Structure 1
Amino acid sequence: MNMLIIYTYPNHNSLNFAFLQKVLKGSKENDNIKEIQVLDLYEEGFNPLLVFNEQKRRRDMHKDPSIEKYRQQLTWADKIVFIYPIWWGRPPAMLLGYIDQLFASNFAYKDKKGYFPEGLLKGKSVVCVSTMKGPALYPFFWLNNAHKILMKRALFNFVGIKKVKFFEFGNMENPKGNQAKKMEKVYTYFKKVAN
């Protein structure tokens, strides 16, 4: 399988970057993973701002030439891995800007009669590796699981991706946050994952 990793954190001297290294290490030791591409949104200088005017219309985002290479990456990938912190109960604005532009009508989904569209990214799978300062159960109890609902139901299921796995790691700024154990869990998963 082909795997695209979308890394969203502005500092390479960070725990998020360490998780990226564990994902890469496990994936390179996995015979099921044929090729890996890494998209570092900050290093890439990705522009998360949406611009709509007379020349650039929302309904044409699916063919915007400035983001064609990112569409090609998503088309190529069988598994998409997102690595990011959870800030204010949701992914960073940089990642949300990427999602706003790439998961566009007529590329990621197609409108049809009824309430739900036809997802055009069927057959792909997603893994979200996210970190947060607060306790791991904070999003579940305090925010009604908003992060997972946003990512799985409002985004991935909407575009046809049904297989979604989450690693939500809390207490990441705590010296007793079991960071090494959590990184080993991610490494082991990617070393063995089959699809």
Structure 2
Amino acid sequence: MNVLVIFTHPNHESLNYAFLEQVLRGSRENKNVTEIQVLDLYKEGFDPVLVFHEQKRRRDMQYDPNLAKYREQLTWADRIVMIYPIWWGRPPAMLLGYIDQMFAAGFAYQNKGGWFPEGLLKGKSVVCISTMMGPARYPLLWLRNAHQVLMRKALFQYVGIRRVKFFEFGSMESPRGRQKEKLERIYRYCKTV
């Protein structure tokens, strides 16, 4: 299994970075993992801004040569692991800009004229690891699970990815947030699944 880890946090001394380290540690010890690639969107300097004009049209995004490397990574990956904080009830703009550009028509899905498109990324799995300052139940109770609905239904199922696992860790800035326990949980998951 090829694993692509997409890390989206500007601080390498953050708890999110500690989760990245545990994902890598567990994946390296997983006998089913052949190769691992890490895409650090901030370190990479990924430009999340969509630009469309006469020479760069939305319908041609799947051919954009500036995104070829990222398309190759997504095609190569069997499992995609996304690590990011939840800010204002959603992933960071950097990750959303990546999604807007990478999950484009002609690459991630194909319109067939019906109600739903044909997903072109079938057979892959996704693991979303997110942290938030507020309590873990906040997105579920207050926001009606908007984050998971956005990621699972509006994105991954749309492009053909059915196997999606979420780890949403709340109260991460609290001294009682059990950070070490949650880091260990991610390590064990990546080592065995």
The whole-number CA distance in structure 1 between the counterparts of 2:62 and 2:154 is 19
Deviant stretches of 4+, over 4 Å: none
Match of 2:158, SS? helix
Amino acid at match of 1:156: F
- 1:47-68 residue CA offsets vs partner (Å, 9 max, x unmatched): 0000000010000000100010
Give per-residue Cα distances to partners, 1:124-166, cap 9 Å, x unaligned.
0000000000000000000000000000000000000000000
Aligned to 1:153: 153
What residue in structure 2 maps to residue 84 of structure 1? 84
1:138 corresponds to which residue? Answer: 138
What TM-score do you get using the length of structure 1 for normalisation? 0.99
d(CA) in 1 for partners of 2:129, 2:154: 18
Structure 2, unmatched stretches of 5+, are none
Q: Secondary structure at the match of 1:158?
A: coil
| Aligned-partner SS, 1:75 | helix
Gapped runs of 5+ residues in structure 1?
Answer: none
Structure 1 residue 97 displacement after superposition: 0.2
Distance in 1 separating the partners of 2:113 and 2:43: 40
Q: Aligned runs of 1:1-195 on 2, under 5 Å?
A: 1-193=1-193
For normalisation by structure 2, the TM-score amounts to: 1.00
> Which whole-Å CA distance do the structure 2 matches of 1:30 and 1:5 have between them?
15
Instruction: Give the number of equivalent residue pairs.
Output: 193
Aligned residue identity for 2:17: F
Q: Which residue identity is paired with 1:169?
A: F
Distance 2:112 2:130 in 1: 33
In 2, distance between residues paired with 1:72 and 1:118?
20
For 2:147, give the aligned amino acid: H
For residues 181 and 62 of structure 2, what CA distance do their matches in structure 1 show?
A: 41
Structure 1 residue identity aligned to 2:30: N
**How far apart are 1:115 and its partner, in Å?**
1.0
Report deviation, 1:113.
Answer: 2.0
Q: How high is the sequence identity, in percent, across the aligned residues?
A: 70
Deviations 1:87-126 (A, max 9, x none): 0110000000000000000000000121100000000000
What root-mean-square deviation, in Å, do the aligned CA atoms of Structure 1 and Structure 2 show? Answer: 0.3
Q: Give the letter for the 2:26 counterpart.
A: G
Q: Secondary structure at the match of 2:116?
A: coil
Question: Displacement of 1:34 after TM fit?
Answer: 0.3
